[in-house]
Amino acid sequence: MTDSDALLVGRVRSGDSAAADALLRRHFRAAYLVAFAGVGNSADAEDVVQDAFIKCLDHIDDCENPAMFGAWLARIVRNTAHNRRDYLRVRETQPLERLDIPSRHRADEAVESRELRQTLLAALARLSDQQREVVLLHDLEGWRHAEIASELGISPGMSRRHLSDGRKKLREILGDYARLEPDHD
């Protein structure tokens, strides 16, 4: 039987590094996707996750509801990603939101993974942060709404709403690029 988040948080507070490892490992994937939703690329998302994990460990006493550790961590990751995105905006000349979506007549080329990736990223950048997080956790990671709700600190109904709105917007943007798979939830 695995230890609950609340139990692991208690052990982390007493300086147990093994508990910290288990807790961070359990929430790594969600944290990574929330970070990815914020910054739009893997390298920055990994840096964001690492920074957010350090903040989370250093301020673990501030986690008021250890049973909802995932939601608390997601907030830290989201804030860290926003800071990172602001920094990247200043540094780079072409922010994520201005990436062009390839024209449809280049559909054959768009199946190339790099271009498809760019296309998806550009489309995702036009969603709200929470729509993007829910769409990634649900459609990429295969999580159910109850899990997403718990991890992001929202209700399952709100998770469904974000997914529906996010998908609708993505289909409008992507058109023929939007490949569909059977739903799981």
Partner 1 sequence: MTDEPKTGRLDLRALEDGDRARGADEIIRRAILGSARMRGALADDDPRDLRRYLRPAMLAAGILVVIAVGTVRTTRYQRRTPSPITSIAGWTETHHLPSNGELWVAFQGYGQ
Q: Give the footprint of partner 1 on this chain (CB under 8 A).
A: 14-17, 20-21, 24-25, 28-29, 32, 36, 41-43, 46, 49-50, 53-54, 57-58, 60, 113, 116-117, 120-121, 124, 135-136, 138-140, 157, 160-161, 163-165, 167-168, 170-171, 178-184
Please, are residues 171 and 180 in contact by the beta-carbon 8 Å criterion?
A: no
Q: In terms of CB distance, is 3 or 165 closer to partner 1?
A: 165
61/51 Cα distance (integer angstroms): 17
43/69 Cα distance (integer angstroms): 25
Query: What's the min distance (Å) between Cβ of 89 and partner 1?
Result: 21
Q: In terms of CB distance, is 90 or 183 closer to partner 1?
A: 183
105/93 Cα distance (integer angstroms): 27
Which residues, at least 6 apart from 103, have a Cβ–Cβ distance to it below 8 Å?
Answer: none
Query: What's the min distance (Å) between Cβ of 157 and partner 1?
Result: 8
Which residues, at least 6 apart from 13, have a Cβ–Cβ distance to it below 8 Å?
Answer: 60, 61
Q: In terms of CB distance, is 58 or 90 closer to partner 1?
A: 58
Q: In terms of CB distance, is 90 or 172 closer to partner 1?
A: 172
